[in-house]
A and B are shown apart, each in its own frame.
Chain A
């Protein structure tokens, strides 16, 4: 029992000591929580970030994978961590902008966190199985309208961006396609290759190698502007659905109670990271563009996205009733 008391005491003093230490931050290893399983795209971004920050801040940065609930478990954990700058999150659009709207989360995307900077963006790519007579977005819309409900699309599961990007597309252009959920984006992409599903709005990381090998046909990217990796591929917005823009991002967020002085320091480091050629090269292999935003821009972006998904969900539920 004495030991436990001693431990509690030590923890208490540890906490109060860190509050005053914004000046000398970082004086101990920083924990970078990746709310997804190791091996995925967010994990890669997290590790690239950790590698750069470690050099830049001359302090160990540990990547900690806390997978679960489509990123909610890890994000939740960070939102409840002490705001001392030693616990950061490699958050992503799914758990921050979509999940709080689509389901109930114990955190509020704008109140529970201090967004610091988006570090990478990655568009979804519309890919179809090459055996289908669909060569463009116009073809896709025509085909889908002629055969309502017949086209199947793979997703990483209900509630994920792959699903919502098609749901938004369906709502905008008036098509109806059948949702086939998979356990993750990678098997969904594989199913387009094997022809088990007809198409998918897949993230660039999974799609790029398959597009290069011609095992799938790329029709468009979902971002507002064309991707640097597939400059010949049009955007959904410029072909069939003006204004359509869905982009997956990963950004560094801190618990809401983190002092501004530390946020500024991290922001400065991330600004340098966005200009680092090696980081850019590594992000490019994952199909991601390296990005920097100020905390204010980041906050505004999340606000905008939350509105977009809230509107879409209302549209969908209105249609159902």
Chain B
């Protein structure tokens, strides 16, 4: 679990992230009417916020470049990717194939997020979860979703 070699520190990347988000926001704010203080358009507040965010982001970038800060934590791709995929699978399947298949698919993918899982335990968990969820969410709480396709 030794962390990989770090380039830059967390300040630098935090600032960079904020600048990038602010820049994306600005692209979409471009088309909105800005207005004046007395007659604000829909773009007034977002523009102000995005500019402040960009400013703060830049300050943090500079701080990150000039001072030694906390290093960025190591990004572990395995749990990240499989957990994200498992959620996406649930979202894709829940309306198309029903709750049970969506849950089994999600558990199946999330299983790979960790090396400590065993197939048997995950399979049992998946089956029990599908049954419990069908009872609690659909039968008891009446969530409008099909249990089976």
Q: Which residues of A contact B149 (CB under 8 A)?
A: 6-7, 10-11, 14
B18 CB, min distance to chain A CBs, angstroms: 28
B50 at interface, CB cutoff 8 A? no
B8 CB, min distance to chain A CBs, angstroms: 41
Of residues 107 through 147 on chain B, the ones whose CB sits less than 8 Å from some CB of chain A are 144
Of residues 73 through 97 on chain B, the ones whose CB sits less than 8 Å from some CB of chain A are 93, 96-97
> In which size bucket is the chain A interface?
10 to 19
Q: Which residues of B contact A10 (CB under 8 A)?
A: 97, 149
A62 to B149: give the CA distance in the assembly, Å. 18
Q: Mark A157-197, 1 if CB is under 8 A from B, else 0.
A: 00000000000000000000000000000000000000000
A10 to B93: give the CA distance in the assembly, Å. 13
Report yes or no: B105 in contact with A11, Cβ–Cβ below 8 A.
no
Report yes or no: A3 in contact with B101, Cβ–Cβ below 8 A.
yes
Report yes or no: A7 in contact with B101, Cβ–Cβ below 8 A.
yes
Chain A residue, CB-CB nearest to B102: A7
A232 to B144: give the CA distance in the assembly, Å. 44
Q: Which residues of A contact B96 (CB under 8 A)?
A: 7-8, 11
Report yes or no: B144 in contact with A62, Cβ–Cβ below 8 A.
yes
Q: Per a CB cutoff under 8 Å, which of A3, A31, A62 touches B105?
A: A3
Q: Which residues of B contact A64 (CB under 8 A)?
A: 144
Q: Quick one: which of A6, A10, A64 has the most chain B CB within 10 A?
A: A10
B48 CB, min distance to chain A CBs, angstroms: 19
B44 CB, min distance to chain A CBs, angstroms: 15
A11 to B105: give the CA distance in the assembly, Å. 17
A97 CB, min distance to chain B CBs, angstroms: 24
Q: Per a CB cutoff under 8 Å, which of A4, A14, A31, A62 touches B93?
A: A4
| Interface residues, chain B, with chain A CB atoms under 8 Å away | 93, 96-98, 101, 104-105, 144, 149
| Interface residues, chain A, with chain B CB atoms under 8 Å away | 3-4, 6-8, 10-11, 14, 31, 62, 64
